[in-house]
Structure 1
Amino acid sequence: MTALPGETPGTVGTDTPQGAEPPAATDAEGPAHAEAPDTEESGGSEESEGAQEPAADGSEVDTPADDAPTGDATDGAEAGEASAGDASAGAEGDAAATAVLSEAQAELAAQRELRERIAKRKAEKGGPVAAGAKLSGTAADLLAAVRAVESGEKAGTEFFDSPAAAPAPRRPAPAPAGQPPRPAPATAAPADRAASPEAMDAVRAVLTEGGAPEALAHPATGTLGEQAAELLRADPWQLLAVPGVRPEQADGFARALLGAACGPDDGRRTSALIGWLLERAALQGHTALDAEAVRAALAERAVSDPEEAVRNAVEEGVVLVFQEGADPTELDASDEDQEGDDTGETAEAPEPVQVLLGLDRYALAEESLADGLARLMNACEKGADWAEAAAAAPSPSAAELIRTAAAAGLVAHSGGEAARAEPAALIAAARGLGLRALGATHSEDGRRRLADAAGAPDAAVTLAGLLSGTEGPGRDEDGALALDLLVVLDAPQLDVEGAAVLVEALADGARLVLSGDPGVLGSAGAGRVFADVLAARACPQVVSRTPDPGPIGELVSGIGIGELLQVEAPGKEVVIVPVRDAGEAVHRTVQLVADSVPRAFSIPATDTQVITVGHGGAAGTRVLNEALKQRLNPGPGRFGGFDPGDRVIHVPAPGRAVPGVVRSADAEGLHLECAGVPVVVPQERVESAVRHGWALSAHQAAGMRWPAAVVVLPGDAAAGLSRPWVYTAFGRGELHLSVVHGVDQALPHAVAQVPAQERTTRLRPLLEALPTPDAAS
């Protein structure tokens, strides 16, 4: 690998060149308390940066990775209230010893009453689940259990993980049959709602009374609705449902409104905290959390009895409880063997059952998705003869994919960038057979590349356009997508809620192919759909044997298996630019984009994308975008910080990042051009939904490629590196990759030893429990 003209050559993974200072842990240009980089995790915390709202103190809130309830950090804001938690610590410790010995037996006793109904429901679920039908099996049992708690028929302790005295039943609140449990406002998904001026004024008054900034009025009404003022006055901790608000800020708001009536063990507070913990976990990709981790996080926030707090949240329907790790019937048989063994030998105790807590929106999405995938697998029609199409395929891997899709309703296809030609060949083959076949991508760039590979402009759409009806064939008379075959590219970017909606929209008999690169970063939203489908082995899998070409392809392929290779790049396809500190990293990045890359490769700055580890820090996206704007499109920022010609990233919804260019602004809002399509962002949404886009995070760049990419690795970003991050970022350049390298040995260490962060999800066990198509028939 060689350096560009005017740059210093280097090698990926080598030590800092002789005479250079080692990268500093902090930015040499800034003060000691400079903002730490908002590093990317495997979940969507970075993706949400484009849609942040102001915090309760009026400042923009960035999501640190340690906010997840891992029990690693304490919150000093509630230290004065922590004595309440110390009082019960001894009692919990005394009970722990006996609870551990009887945990499995207690789980069995708590579940025996439900077992007959579970078995009956499983027996009734004999055939495929029809599209749009009500949930059955595990999902139905889950809803039945929650309804029983809400109606007062059963106490929440019967569905909890440790024995305890059941509290008095709550006042009956019957729910209509077939209707899902009532979602708690504190955990509801944020949504933009048009609030009346009266509602906004009422919310501002409550916020002012509680010492919170009036800037929270719009996001509060968007999250809590027209009754936001009444909800906040009755339960000030509902403020915690507003994006960007932290527990200590909600506590201060509650103290201002409630005075002496405010305490750390208030049920409203503990329920809101649990919802907040699970929502924060969802930003990291989890659809559920271990109950013990939730209790530990509550203890750190001065809750004196975390177990009672969790039990109360389950009874109130704020969260749902699940037990994973063993089949109840197997545990029951093992228990009976232990009780009736006459040989004197002690049977091996069953493994402990993991107890998970989750929000209903993600639980029902995973249940619905599992049932929908089973429906597609069981309803596949094998009428057409695909043999001739497979024989004419352009590669052996494409032929294998065609043959596999001909015989299965659900197929998983994995491969790198070059392997994208195989789904394109499948779409073309299916269309040649007269089938309604289509490919869907997450970005306009991906749609264009797939359409070119398939040889038909109408062969590909974006997922957002397909589901909204603005792209694609529309719906049939039953409301399903009018398709026989749908291929979803970049499948690792599918979150569980989006995947559930997509699968529900497919008709019985349609084929679904999930295609993607398992090595890239996961979805910005909760879940790991593609990884769970692969791990469950619930459907046929096709692994591409088509390698990515060139030095960039060789480098990225090595990263995928944990090796940082020194590749030969005679055409300067890969260049390493060593830097000493973050200030030099910013300077070198601007020089590469504005001068070196255009001069050496005739690639204009508009076709070069900068990718860095986080949004904050001395060389994060904010600092880099400011420096690049000053060089490439200087201006006063007269349209809310933007000028015509600015490169931007538009976040129309969480998890979606759409590149664009500013054209103008008027009373309607900021006018953008995104992939040739005019977009108007209302004034009130500009601050939260539009960011400068010369520099992106790797999550924002996933699924897109540019002629050239400049990956910036300042010294203070070392902790945010992982193999999937490096794999994703280094693979965004088609012709050229420059690496501004200031992390020394942290880069090869991350590639070799820092895999993707694990996500806690329930989809894999749900898929593993499904009957195979042969068994179902």
Structure 2
Amino acid sequence: MSTDPETRETSPQPEDGTGQDTGRTEAETAPGGEDRDGAVAAPAGEGAAAPQRSEAEAELAAQRIERERIEQRKAHKQGPVEAGTKLSGKAADLLAAVRAVESGEKPVSSAFREPAPAPRRAAPEPERPARPVAPPQPPNAPGTELVAAVRALLTGAGAPGTLAPQVAAVLGETADARLQADPWQLLRVTGVRPEQADGFARALLGAECRPDDDRRARAMTVWLLEQAALAGHTALEVPALQAALDRCSVPDPDAAVQSGIAEGEVLVFQDALETTGPGTAPVEGAAGEGEEEDEERPVRVLIGLERYALAEESLADGLARLINSVPKENGSADAWERAARSATGAAGELIRAVAGHGLVLHTGGEASRIEPATLLYAAHDLGVRAWAATHSPAGRDAFAELRDRLDLPDTATTHPALTTVAGLLSGAEGPGRDADGALDLDLLVVLDAPQLDVESAALLTESLPDGVRLVLSGDPGVLWSAGPGRVFADLLTARACPQIASRTPDPGPIGELVSSVGIGELPQVDAPGKEVVIVPVRDAGEAVHRTVQLVVDSVPRAIGIPAQETQVITPGHGGAAGTRVLNAALKERLNPGPGRFGGFDAGDRIAYSPAPGRTVQGHVVTADAEGLHLECSGEPVVVPKERVDQTVRHGWALTAHQAVGQRWPAVVVVLPGDAAQALSRPWVYTAFGRADRHLSVVHGVEQALPRAVAETPAKPRTTRLPLLLRGQFPTTG
């Protein structure tokens, strides 16, 4: 490694420094666009006529429609959630609350019933045009009168009237009455924080506003579970939830949880823990002599929201269906074997596994993508309708370049064989759907599989027909999905299907460095071409100065990579060297201007987040009455002016979560001193791995980098998918 791209040739050991992503795309800018620093974002227009929706809004609407299909399939439940064992203490109290619901003392929640098997629901679609159109506007958009009534209620209690459209959309046709009866319902609006909801309740209720109000306790419980989802959890263990409620000044956390269960606001799960080792069923008759047969088994009591519970259940069912179904006869066994023998290394193993199984997992770094590309060609040669889906448009374009570099015939001349996961689910891209509403394909290869959250993964598996082959491919070392769950990691642990591990190493000094980070080491690598450069800095101000110098001058002059092909990655949006400060400094040098389009100028590099967890890069074209006109991955995008603040940021500097699934010729990773407490191995691995030809590390955290790489793995996430998979495949693990 060098200490400067232009000057010294010495290669000192890195002085260590990197940062955990303090803000993910949807964690920093949550679904409603609010900044995680705490301010409530101003919503879109107040009662004005709705503008024509963008493709991103169409995509979200399509995903909502698809989610409704899943919920309808889960609606007919036949019995209560199985407790599975005798409980005591607080777990018994929770179970008593569940039984109170079942006995009729409280309203019954449909989420306490188990799904009945049902055939795939036919959902014929109209004939798709050459370019899919956006779905129709949902009929439940809030009306002008409702928005006005909600605004009057909000402003009368001292709350911002700009929240009215969001409140009306979230709470529905009786939003004003619901809010009047329960002011803490305001917490259901994305971006509203407990102290703001408490202030609204005090203004509305006066002396009747008390911290021990059941309505407040239930609302806080739901809000905390939503915040946990932003951190990746699909449910929380009871002690963790109660501790969080206590920090929110809820006087009786246990009663708050029980009230939420009884009212159907949250669900409770009693998951039996393994007692004979992971992945093994309890041995019959293994109890010692004299022990009672009904001896209490250990359980884990979890509290969760219905939407994530349904998603995990649907995902487990869908994966079981794929694993247990016989793949379609696309080509003979001999033809698949010939294709496998003609491929080299792990590509042959992958083809052979896909030939006989409905679900296959493939792991490896960037270089291993050649193996699913080879699989796609082999499948096309066998007449298989095969598609590949990536996390981002940039990843799709990069995979297309890799595919085209292979010296193999491209048989997919009629329909493109590449899409994004979001485009596939929304219908904006991909093969379309058959008469039953399933995706019209035989083989789907999902790249960047670690970025699948439980809801996207559930929608995906629900959309696949029986007999299809699904390959989930990705690098298990990168940051997990921005949304809740850790689907790819849970599947790898379950070992319910074939797993093919690539042996193709990432090349060059950068590949060597990233591979070492993945196993917890931070070596000094030989970089004769200045592929890896360390730039020590003393403070955040110097970090910003050196970053701008690298992007604008040093890297273009010494490495030959222009500024427009260099990406800055930093731990978070805030702070003295976060994306806001770095983007302001880079704009001043690369595209100065007054910010005449809501802070943006034509030519500005931007990061556009059409949906939580997804970031698309592009640049500003112009602005008019319709909104801000962007070009993202070659496609025109119009962002309505009321949504610009929520979805568009400058994009010269990104966080690692925003950058995942993409690569650039040159990357400058900025590690300010205030990032030391947030470091982790996955963050370092992801940030360093975004560089293709050159990596500069602006280093200001001293020994925090080697400690993070060696000692700080990914933060654990609480999910139910492993248990559900064990229920489907009890001998796996």
Give yes or no for the alignment of 1:495 onto 2:495.
no
Quote the residue 1:376 is aligned against.
322
Quote the residue 2:491 is aligned against.
533
Quote the residue 1:631 is aligned against.
589
Check whether the contact 1:203–1:228 (CA below 8 A) recurs between aligned residues.
Answer: yes
Aligned mates of 1:612, 1:192 — CA distance in 2: 42
**Match 1:160 to one of 94, 115, 120:** 94
Give yes or no for the alignment of 1:392 onto 2:342.
yes
Report how far residue 336 of structure 1 moved.
10
**Match 1:437 to one of 383, 386, 401:** 386
Check whether the contact 2:328–2:442 (CA below 8 A) recurs between aligned residues.
Answer: no
Report how far residue 133 of structure 1 moved.
11
Aligned mates of 2:599, 2:23 — CA distance in 1: 28
**Match 1:218 to one of 147, 152, 165:** 165
Matching residue's letter, 1:367: E
Report how far residue 592 of structure 1 moved.
0.6
Check whether the contact 1:43–1:523 (CA below 8 A) recurs between aligned residues.
Answer: no
Report how far residue 233 of structure 1 moved.
1.5
Matching residue's letter, 1:596: S
Matching residue's letter, 1:48: A
**Distance 1:176-1:246 versus aligned 2 partners, 3 A rule:** closer
Aligned mates of 1:224, 1:620 — CA distance in 2: 35
Give yes or no for the alignment of 1:737 onto 2:691.
no
**Match 1:45 to one of 8, 27, 39:** 27
Report how far residue 292 of structure 1 moved.
1.4
Report how far residue 643 of structure 1 moved.
0.4
Aligned mates of 1:669, 1:162 — CA distance in 2: 54
Aligned residues with identical type, % of pairs: 60
Report how far residue 12 of structure 1 moved.
7.2
Stretches (4+) displaced over 3 A: 3-16, 41-44, 46-50, 53-61, 131-136, 156-159, 161-181, 191-194, 325-338, 343-351, 771-774
The Cα offsets for residues 111-154 of structure 1, whole Å up to 9 and x where unpaired, read as xxxxxxxxxxxxxxxxxxxx979768xx977x732799xxxxxx
Alignment map for 1:187-226 (pairs within 5 Å): 194-226=141-173
**Match 1:420 to one of 369, 372, 383:** 369
The Cα offsets for residues 406-447 of structure 1, whole Å up to 9 and x where unpaired, read as 111000100000001101111111010000001000111111
Secondary structure of the residue aligned to 1:673 is strand
**Distance 1:286-1:172 versus aligned 2 partners, 3 A rule:** closer
Check whether the contact 2:220–2:245 (CA below 8 A) recurs between aligned residues.
Answer: yes
Question: What value does the CA root-mean-square deviation take over the aligned residues?
Answer: 3.6
The Cα offsets for residues 331-384 of structure 1, whole Å up to 9 and x where unpaired, read as 99999997xx8x557999655211000100000100000000111111132632
Secondary structure of the residue aligned to 1:145 is coil
Report how far residue 5 of structure 1 moved.
4.8
**Distance 1:664-1:365 versus aligned 2 partners, 3 A rule:** same
Aligned mates of 2:387, 2:656 — CA distance in 1: 27
Aligned mates of 1:176, 1:293 — CA distance in 2: 22
Report how far residue 217 of structure 1 moved.
2.4
Unaligned residue ranges in structure 2 (runs of 5+) = 44-68, 84-89, 117-137, 405-409
Alignment map for 1:635-650 (pairs within 5 Å): 635-650=593-608
Aligned mates of 2:164, 2:471 — CA distance in 1: 44
Give yes or no for the alignment of 1:689 onto 2:639.
no
**Match 2:360 to one of 408, 411, 414:** 411
Aligned mates of 1:273, 1:726 — CA distance in 2: 34
Quote the residue 1:354 is aligned against.
300
- Give the structure-2-normalised TM-score: 0.83
Matching residue's letter, 2:236: L
Report how far residue 471 of structure 1 moved.
1.5
Aligned mates of 2:492, 2:243 — CA distance in 1: 32
Check whether the contact 1:41–1:757 (CA below 8 A) recurs between aligned residues.
Answer: no
Check whether the contact 1:320–1:359 (CA below 8 A) recurs between aligned residues.
Answer: yes
Check whether the contact 1:132–1:504 (CA below 8 A) recurs between aligned residues.
Answer: yes
**Distance 1:265-1:146 versus aligned 2 partners, 3 A rule:** farther
The Cα offsets for residues 429-482 of structure 1, whole Å up to 9 and x where unpaired, read as 101000000100011111112223333572211111112222221111211111
Report how far residue 225 of structure 1 moved.
3.3
Aligned mates of 2:614, 2:541 — CA distance in 1: 30
The Cα offsets for residues 241-298 of structure 1, whole Å up to 9 and x where unpaired, read as 1122111111111111001111112111111100011000000100000011111222
Check whether the contact 1:46–1:699 (CA below 8 A) recurs between aligned residues.
Answer: no
**Match 1:573 to one of 522, 528, 531:** 531
Alignment map for 1:174-573 (pairs within 5 Å): 194-326=141-273, 352-381=298-327, 383=329, 384=331, 385=333, 386-393=336-343, 395-455=344-404, 456=410, 458-573=416-531
**Distance 1:309-1:590 versus aligned 2 partners, 3 A rule:** same
Quote the residue 2:676 is aligned against.
718
Report how far residue 601 of structure 1 moved.
2.1
**Distance 1:336-1:203 versus aligned 2 partners, 3 A rule:** farther
Secondary structure of the residue aligned to 1:355 is strand
Check whether the contact 2:71–2:310 (CA below 8 A) recurs between aligned residues.
Answer: no
Quote the residue 2:3 is aligned against.
3
Moved more, 691-700 or 382-391: 382-391
Moved more, 496-505 or 247-256: 247-256
Secondary structure of the residue aligned to 1:45 is helix
Check whether the contact 1:192–1:222 (CA below 8 A) recurs between aligned residues.
Answer: no
Matching residue's letter, 1:360: E
- Give the structure-1-normalised TM-score: 0.79
Secondary structure of the residue aligned to 1:651 is strand
Secondary structure of the residue aligned to 1:736 is strand
The Cα offsets for residues 553-573 of structure 1, whole Å up to 9 and x where unpaired, read as 000000000001110000000
**Distance 1:649-1:192 versus aligned 2 partners, 3 A rule:** farther
**Distance 1:171-1:529 versus aligned 2 partners, 3 A rule:** closer
**Distance 1:271-1:387 versus aligned 2 partners, 3 A rule:** same
Report how far residue 520 of structure 1 moved.
0.1
The Cα offsets for residues 501-540 of structure 1, whole Å up to 9 and x where unpaired, read as 0111110000000000000000010111100100111111
**Distance 1:481-1:570 versus aligned 2 partners, 3 A rule:** same
Report how far residue 41 of structure 1 moved.
7.3
The Cα offsets for residues 556-597 of structure 1, whole Å up to 9 and x where unpaired, read as 000000001110000000000000000000000111111111
Secondary structure of the residue aligned to 1:144 is coil
Aligned mates of 1:528, 1:43 — CA distance in 2: 17
Report how far residue 214 of structure 1 moved.
2.4
Aligned mates of 2:176, 2:527 — CA distance in 1: 62
**Distance 1:403-1:494 versus aligned 2 partners, 3 A rule:** same
**Distance 1:300-1:678 versus aligned 2 partners, 3 A rule:** same
Secondary structure of the residue aligned to 1:527 is coil
Report how far residue 228 of structure 1 moved.
2.7
Matching residue's letter, 2:365: G
Aligned mates of 1:2, 1:8 — CA distance in 2: 7
Report how far residue 4 of structure 1 moved.
3.5
**Distance 1:192-1:773 versus aligned 2 partners, 3 A rule:** farther
Unaligned residue ranges in structure 1 (runs of 5+) = 17-22, 26-36, 62-130, 149-155, 182-190
Quote the residue 1:115 is aligned against.
none
Check whether the contact 1:58–1:215 (CA below 8 A) recurs between aligned residues.
Answer: no
